[in-house]
Structure 1
Amino acid sequence: MKQTVKVILLIALGIFLLSRLLNGTLSFYIHPRFNVLILLTAVGLTALGIGYAIQQRRESAHVHEEDQEHEHAHEHAHSHDVSWAGLLLLALPVLLGLLVEPRPLGASALQNREINVGGSALTSSSAPEGSDLSVIANAGERNILDWLYLFQRSTDPANFNGEEAHVVGFVYRDERFADTQFMVSRFTVSCCVADAAPIGLIVEWPDTAVLTADSWVEVTGTLQAGTFNGVEMPVLVAESVAPTETPSQPYLYQ
């Protein structure tokens, strides 16, 4: 019985990982650089399960040719291959994956977390590492992480006055924001969601009140020196804020 359950779980786990890899939802949890390893793991688990199934079938055929005493000894020899606790541990990721809808981190995950915004942190003076980033020259193609990297290299927010920006992110607001302000936000990931760090740009937009928290938007406008929570920083004065779909890659990767 245990051997059959083990075969089913190994194949199910392999297929589960492969399905998450193919539909892109695996990137909600780990950096895409690990996709090849996940693919090899999925193929390996499936192959291992099939191998156990073939072995079990051969052993079953062999047992039928032996007497009852030998059959009992044979089963006893393999009874310690895997415990029910081990099978439950193997089944857990499959069960959770089927019961919990895969979703990327959003605004609810920002509560009580350090947020890098405008080159400064809302709750800490430390800034995320960005020395290895390749900053795109065309301002219209820079994402939020590119802009923050540039802000950190400048001591004067006015250096960016008049620069056009077009960024995509989700809406975040709390009690620190003025009525006409919100933050267009993303998470950066180096390895997996365990090290995800929220970042964002402060946006000035007169219709901020109509925006839904955690909704994804495209923001186009120009940068101007401004303040947020008493800190001077570049602020994106929006010319348009349009709703958009959640990107296939919701995180920005370092």
Structure 2
Amino acid sequence: MRRETQNILLVLLGGALLKISLNGDYLRYVKPAHQPWIIAGGAIMVLLGVLAIGRDLVAARRAAAPAGHAHEGHQHPARSAWLLMVPVLAVFLVAPPALGSDSVTRTQGRTPQSSALRDAQLFPALPEQQVVPLPVSEFVTRAGWDSSGSLNGRTVSLSGFVARDGADVLLARLVIGCCAADANPVTVRLLGPGTEGLRPDTWIEVTGVVVPGTTTRETNYTPDLTLASVRPVPAPKDPYEY
């Protein structure tokens, strides 16, 4: 690959990192705590690329001579190397979407335990209010591991995207420890009216009551929720739970 191509790739890749880190698209790939590192990495790459381009331009001017075209016939630009810019430009211009229902259905054969599910032992009391908003991961953890039954008879509010497992309609979220590459799904099976016509990857907010005893290994730690209400909501800027 020619130096010119390398330098331009470096600038474009650094610019893509800066773009996704400043407009919030980085949340589709990593945790919010990683934003400063992405900004720093992108800025360094852009700076190095600009400095290299400037250095090459200065060197080319110094080496210029009246017979500068004498060797033009021996210059063979590596056109194929420019194809490496296609994925960089794709990220720069169109950021890929966050993981969705396809990731959930592909992992239904595995036991989708988050680190919270594996390690949970103590559960604080839920707030004394009529409807308790909870992250989906906490709801699944309490439903499966809280021997005190803190969810029993309590109406909760959950938000996530729709996934389907055969005839079952699931409310799902993806839990990440570091980045999207280690995402694990947590799911809740929705029971009752209101799920007809819900399309996969549609974001919804539901209220309902857990069915005790349904969060088991046999159900892939997917509790049942008897619905009280369902309504569509916009997709959040940060689609993951941590």
Same fold (TM over 0.5): yes
Over the residues paired in the alignment, what is the CA RMSD in angstroms? 3.5
Asked if the contact 1:160/1:224 (under 8 Å) is kept, the reply is: no
Aligned to 1:108: 102
- With over 3 angstroms needed to count, the CA separation of the structure-2 counterparts of 1:204 and 1:88, relative to structure 1, is same
Going from structure 1 to structure 2, the CA distance change for 1:38 and 1:27 (only over 3 Å counts) comes to: same
- For residue 68 of structure 1, report the CA deviation from its aligned partner: 5.8
Alignment pair present for 1:170 and 2:164 = no
Q: What is the rounded CA distance, in whole Å, between the counterparts of 2:122 and 2:239 in structure 1? A: 19
Per the normalisation by structure 2, the TM-score is 0.78
Residue of structure 2 in register with 1:128 after alignment: 114
Structure 1 stretch displaced more, 226-235 or 135-144: 226-235
Q: Does residue 2 of structure 2 align to residue 11 of structure 1? A: no
- Shifted more, 126-135 versus 213-222: the winner is 126-135
Partner of 1:118: none
Conserved in 1, the CA contact under 8 Å of 2:143 and 2:215? no
Q: Structure 1-normalised TM-score?
A: 0.75
Alpha-carbon distance between aligned partners in 2 of 1:14 and 1:127, rounded to the nearest angstrom:
35
CA contact (8 A) 1:135 1:142 kept: no
242-251 or 54-63, which deviates more: 54-63
Kindly indicate whether residue 216 of structure 2 is the aligned counterpart of residue 222 of structure 1.
no
Runs of 5+ unmatched residues, structure 2? none
Is 27-36 or 135-144 further displaced after alignment? 135-144
**What is the rounded CA distance, in whole Å, between the counterparts of 2:222 and 2:107 in structure 1?**
20
Given residue 167 of structure 1, which amino acid in structure 2 is its aligned partner?
A: L
- Contact 1:6/1:87 (<8 A) preserved: no
- Map of 1:39 onto structure 2: 39
Letter matched to residue 41 of structure 2 = T
DSSP-derived class of the 2:115 partner: coil
Q: Any conservation in 1 of the 2:19–2:92 contact (CA below 8 Å)? A: no
Q: Secondary structure at the match of 1:187?
A: strand
Paired residues, number: 229
Separation in 2, partners of 1:163, 1:234: 14
Query: Separation in 1 of the partners of 2:81 and 2:115?
Result: 39
CA distance in 2, matches of 1:32, 1:56: 37
Structure 2 CA distance for partners of 1:163 and 1:197, relative to 1, 3 Å: same
Q: Which runs of 5+ in 1 are unaligned?
A: 73-78, 115-122
List per-residue Cα deviations over 1:204-245 (Å, max 9, x = no partner): 231322222221001112233264897597532222100011
Quick one: structure 1 residues 194 and 126, their matched pair in 2 at CA, closer, same or farther if it must change by over 3 Å?
closer
Distance of aligned partners of 1:135 and 1:217 in 2 relative to their CA distance in 1, 3 Å threshold:
farther
Over the matched positions of the two proteins, sequence identity in percent amounts to: 27
Cα gap change, 1:152/1:189 in structure 2, threshold over 3 Å: closer, same or farther? same
Q: 3-state DSSP class of the match of 2:201?
A: coil
Structure 1 residue 48: deviation in Å?
0.6
Q: What amino acid maps onto 1:97 in structure 2?
A: V
- Verify the 8 A CA contact 1:184 1:200 in the aligned structure 2: yes
- Distance change in 2, residues 1:103/1:135 (3 Å): farther
CA deviation vs aligned residue, 1:126-185 (integer Å, no higher than 9, x gap): 7332138997754723210111222332358x65221121111011222252xxxx2111
The answer to whether the 8 Å contact 2:28/2:98 transfers is: yes
Q: Distance in 2 between matches of 1:92 and 1:245?
A: 31
Verify: 1:203 aligned to 2:190, yes or no: yes
Pair 1:236 & 2:228 matched: no
Alignment match, 2:26: 26
